[in-house]
Amino acid sequence: MRNVTITLDEQTAAWVRLHAARHDTSVSRIVGEMLREKMRGAREYEAAMRRFLAKPPSPMTRRGQRLPNRDEINDRVGLR
């Protein structure tokens, strides 16, 4: 484990101290868990983006067909 110093405004510091006390934990543990979750989300997003970008592009139309216009793309019957 590494020690890190963070700076919080008074209102945030008061809230997190109270939150930690109510949940029988420490401010350090709360911040650590938040950062781990953020890191996990970033890794999952990057992995999903790599998988998506690794796929070859798929055509929007068949050969000889015109591309749909903006109204056609955004026309969703369930939203009207």
pLDDT in tens, 66-77: 887 888 888 776
Q: Which residue has the tokens 């015109």?
A: 66
| pLDDT at residue 59, rounded to an integer | 79
Residue 44's pLDDT is 98
Map residue 79 onto helix, strand or coil: helix
- 1-58 confidence digits (pLDDT tens): 889 999 999 999 999 999 999 999 999 999 999 999 999 999 999 999 999 999 998 8
Domain span including residue 38: 29-56
How many structural domains does the chain have? 1
**Within a domain: 20:** no
Sign of CA dihedral 63, 65, 67, 72: negative
| Residue 13 within a domain | no
